[in-house]
Amino acid sequence: MIELDNVGYNYGGGELLTNVSAQLAPGSFHFLTGPSGAGKTTLLKLCYGALSPTSGRVRAFNMDVKGLDRDQMAMLRRRVGVVHQDCRFLDHLPVVENIALPLTVSGKDLAQEQANLRDLMDWVGLSERADAKPPELSGGERQRAALARAVILSPEVVIADEPTGNVDWEMSQRLLQLLVELNRMGKTILVATHDLALIRAAKNQVQTRVLRISDKRLQLAGADL
């Protein structure tokens, strides 16, 4: 579904990634690891078209991402749900409206989507917080809201950037369970994380592959994780 072929990326005159090749097959579950500053977020952005490679090629759904026009890029963004590290919301809107924003932007009839929206709120455990404003949410609630917003359009690929970085272990497990459930539904999952315990927990539930950025290159991590 997403393929990187000898991708390189330069930032500020320096090379951040070089000769990166990887393939995210339909229904796969990948973790992306590496030290801070190694380029994990950059690699994720390359996967969903927020950045263009300075060398090599990124293909998504059999299309060269670099050559997409505005309409094609918008369609790509609907097929790839992204959970950003900073979980930005519109603080003046209640949680349920924040989660529903992608429906509004894509021109969906909100009245017809109410049942799906309620089901999604229940799935992430936020039904009782639907009318709360984002500043009132805990870190775990914000992450679950971000995940709900990312999957509201039923994307084929879900990319999450350090989704458990600011929550406790119990909430990390809950978020992981939601990602595992999405994968069992056939979604392709890519999660950037530094939490090796989370990766080990996932390996007990679903088949995963672990990719590691090291010295500007992407490697398949060993089975010792």
User: What would the pLDDT profile of 26-38 be if each residue is shown by its tens digit?
Assistant: 999 999 999 888 8
Q: Is the pLDDT of residue 166 over 80?
A: no
Q: Is the pLDDT of residue 14 over 60?
A: yes
Residue with tokens 């809107």: 93
User: What would the pLDDT profile of 99-135 be if each residue is shown by its tens digit?
Assistant: 999 998 888 888 888 888 999 999 999 999 999 999 9
pLDDT score of 67: 85
pLDDT score of 223: 46
Token pair, residue 59, equals 């293909």
Which has the closest alpha carbon to 196: 179, 218, 176?
176
Q: What are the strands, taking DSSP E only, across 61-110?
A: 63-64, 80-83
pLDDT score of 92: 95
Go through the domains of the chain in sequence order and give each one's CATH number.
Answer: 2-220 (3.40.50.300)
**What is the DSSP secondary structure assignment for residue 3, as one 8-state letter?**
E
CA distances from 38 to 5, 81, 125, 190, 202 (A): 19, 23, 34, 17, 23
Cα 200 to Cα 225: distance, rounded to the nearest angstrom: 6
Q: What is the mean pLDDT of the chain?
A: 90
pLDDT score of 224: 43
> What percentage of the chain exceeds 70 in pLDDT?
98
pLDDT score of 222: 58
Q: How confident is the model at residue 86 (pLDDT cuts 50, 70, 90)?
A: confident
**What is the DSSP secondary structure assignment for residue 87, as one 8-state letter?**
-
